[in-house]
Each structure stands twice: as C-alpha cells, then as structure tokens.
Amino acid sequence: MPHIAIIGSGFAALTTARDLRRRGVGADITVISPRDELHYLPSSIWIPAGLRRAKALRLPLARFFARHRVRFLKASVTGLVARARQITTDTGETIAADHVVIASGGRFLKKLPGIEHAIIPCEGIAAAEAMTARLAALDGGTIAIGMATNPNEPGAIRGGPMFEYAFILDRLLRREGRRDRFRMVFFSPSARPGQRLGEKAVDAILAEMKRRGIETHLGHKMVRIEPDRVVTEGGEVAADLILFQPGMTGPEWLAATDLPLSPGGMVRADAFCRVEGCEGLWVAGDAGSYPGPEWLPKQAHQADLQARAVAANIAGALKGRPPAKAFTAELVCIMDSLDRGMLVFRRGRINLTLPALRPLHWLKRAFEHHYLRAYR
C-alpha cells in the first residue's frame, strides 16, 4: 500500500488529505504535526470586539482524521532526507513515505532588534487574546500598527490582517466612545503598503485610513522596536501598544535538510507544487516559494488551491501519470472593519476592488461558517 506523509495540520495540510480521499486515493495517509487542532486564524481579527472567542476558533481534528482514515502523529518535524523521503521527528519516530507533502506553514522573521516588544497578530490565537487584554487595560495613548516583508523574498508577507486590525480597532474604539483618547499610526518600510493587492486597493486603503484619522509613517526602513516606540530611519513613533507583522520565511528545520531553498528560506517548487528536483516531494502553502505573478499571495485561499493541485498530482502519480495540474494563482481578500468589508480579487489580468460594504462583512462571516463545516 502506498504511503503519503503530510507535514502540518493547517489549511494546506488538511485540504491535501481531504482532496486525496475525494479523488479516491486509498493510500495510507499520515499527518505529522505538534497540533491536533485547526486554528482558524482569519477570524481571530474579531476576538478584540468579542465577535469570536478563542475556543470557537480551535477545532479538534480527531473526527476529521477518523472520517478520512488519516493516522495522526503528534510530533514536530526535525529533518527530512529528500532522496529517501524520510522524515525525522522530535519523538524519535522516523517516517518514510512514497510521497511527502510539506504543508507546515511558514514562520515570522524575528531578527529585528526588540521585536519581542511587539505583538505579532497572525502568530496565533493567543496573540489576539494578548492584544485584547492590552487594549482593554489602556485608558488612552498611541496604537502603532505595522508590517514588513522578507527582504530576500518580497512576496513573503501577510499584510491584509494588519489593515483589518487598523480598521477594526478604530471602529471598536468608536463604539466604546473612547476613540478620541487614542492616536493610531500605521507604519511600514513600504511607501505604499499592500501593493500586492493592486494600486487601486492601495489607494482605497490609504484613503480609508485618512478618513478614519489613522496617521501613517511610511517608506522608512525599520531600525528597532523599543517597549514604548517604533524606531525607523525616518523618525520614531511613540506607542503604548505595538502590533507588528514581520516578513515570513520557511520552518526552521528546513535549514538542516538537503531541500532546494529560495533566497528567503522557503522550499522551491514548480507550477505543479513539486519540490524542484525531488521526486515524490511536494509543497503547498506558506512553506513554499512558487513561480507565478509578482502579487502571488501568502494566504489560506492560495494554500488551499496549491493543496488541491498537490492532491491531483499525487493521485495521478499513483497511477503512473506525470504531474498535470498546475495551481491557480488567485488572491481573494475581504478586509473587514467590524461592520463592513472591502473586497479585493486578483486572477490573471483581473484586479477588482470593491469599496467597504456591509454585505461583504456578512459574506466573510458566512464563508467562515461554510469553510469550517468540514471540521466540526
């Protein structure tokens, strides 16, 4: 019986497992991850406003694994021998497989001096809870919200949630009747943050910040973060609460492998999500570096599309066919502001931006309900 090993338990990993079974693949599947829960991070933006609680966004996966006949190994990967398709783990167990899917996600770069003084919102649900507690304890002051990228891989950025936090916190403070006691500043080394969304989207985002009274400190390289300020080459932003999304790179264990890595530290893949030069090795989601348009996003939707391509190509390989399914490059983002949402869509030459509308907020909430049905 063929064996497929999937590293990770996030969007790309679970979509790969589900799509393999949908395609009738009867092979043994092992999922390796230190976490047997799906953390639905897209909705963690609503934790500060009480629209979601952390418990509701942590979904146990035991039933999902049983339903799809998946063996789960609770472990952290420590290494991978590409030629042998052999995975080592911190439990001491070694897993060998006919196909290995790297879907472990990326990690945030933490080389900036003093980054420990900032909360990294997309690092997990606990970060959203910490931010909620810090905000509740403040009677006033300055909130600094910013983002940066991986200088060696400009596409390794997840900026959308930071725009959402800026708009959501502004709206929340207004609801609470204390917005006038807070200064909000958005900072980024880029003079026009969010360019992967398209120029019209950037114009709309910056206009919305101006309308809400959110100041900007843009186009200045970051130097360090201190407990009460963000220091850049273009000046300082004093702050009582700092939210910062650094650029991304690959999992730490990749450095000890013989896998081909991009300049930014991610696994190099082709259009079929096949690891370059490595038979039977695949990558989907944030851990990979892929060919495609310069705006190719790092987001859950793109990870799902890559995972579907991986599942299709593995299913074909098990029947002796070469890879034929290239992943679709597509960006779909609803930037929420607590009661409205701005839609950005990119695919091929299409680049659509819709202004903040109330129905789009509800569409984002409806999508969450639809997406999570597979795991509840």
Q: Reply yes or no on whether the pLDDT at 155 is more than 90.
A: no
Residue written as token pair 């649900």: 125
Rounded to whole angstroms, how far apart are CA atoms 248 and 244? 12
Considering 247, 269, 290, which residue would you say is the last residue of a domain? 247
What residue ranges in 239-314 does DSSP mark as E strands? Answer: 241-245, 248-249, 267-268, 281-283, 288-289
138 and 228: one domain? yes
287 and 242: one domain? no
Cβ neighbour number for residue 279 with a 10 Å cutoff: 12
Rounded to whole angstroms, how far apart are CA atoms 75 and 249? 21
Considering 317, 339, 358, which residue would you say is the last residue of a domain? 317
The enclosing domain of 69 has a CATH number of 3.50.50.60
63 and 157: one domain? no
Domain assignment present for residue 350? The answer is no
User: What is the structure's pLDDT at 159?
Assistant: 87
Domain assignment present for residue 363? The answer is no
Q: What is the token pair recorded at 45?
A: 């933006």
Domain assignment present for residue 323? The answer is no
- Reading phi first (left if > 0) and then psi (alpha if -120 to 50, else beta), residue 191 is in alpha
Rounded to whole angstroms, how far apart are CA atoms 168 and 47? 10
Q: What is the mean pLDDT of residues 160-189?
A: 97
Nearest to 39 by CA among 126, 100, 120: 126
235 and 303: one domain? no
Cβ neighbour number for residue 60 with a 10 Å cutoff: 12
199 and 144: one domain? yes
Contact 143, 179 (CB under 8 A): no
Q: Reply yes or no on whether the pLDDT at 198 is more than 90.
A: yes
Q: What is the pLDDT of residues 61-117, one digit of tens each?
A: 999 999 999 999 999 999 999 999 999 999 999 999 999 999 999 999 999 999 999
The total number of residues shown for the chain amounts to 376
Q: What is the token pair recorded at 182?
A: 């807070």
265 and 296: one domain? yes
Q: What is the pLDDT of residues 267-276, one digit of tens each?
A: 999 999 999 9
Domain assignment present for residue 263? The answer is yes
Structural domain boundaries, residue 149: 110-247
Helix (H, G, I), strand (E, B), or coil: what is residue 82? coil
Q: What is the mean pLDDT of residues 329-344?
A: 96
At residue 158 the predicted structure's pLDDT band, cuts being 50, 70 and 90, is confident
Q: What are phi and psi of 218, to 5 degrees?
A: -120, 155
180 and 254: one domain? no
214 and 151: one domain? yes
The answer for residues whose C-beta is within 8 angstroms of residue 87's C-beta and 6 or more apart is 5, 7, 32, 77, 79, 80, 94, 95, 96, 97, 100
Cβ neighbour number for residue 110 with a 10 Å cutoff: 12
115 and 241: one domain? yes
Contact 267, 275 (CB under 8 A): yes
Rounded to whole angstroms, how far apart are CA atoms 210 and 184? 11
157 and 63: one domain? no
At residue 376 the predicted structure's pLDDT band, cuts being 50, 70 and 90, is confident
Considering 247, 266, 296, which residue would you say is the last residue of a domain? 247
The DSSP bridge pattern shows strands 94-96 and 222-226 to be unpaired
Domain total in the chain: 2
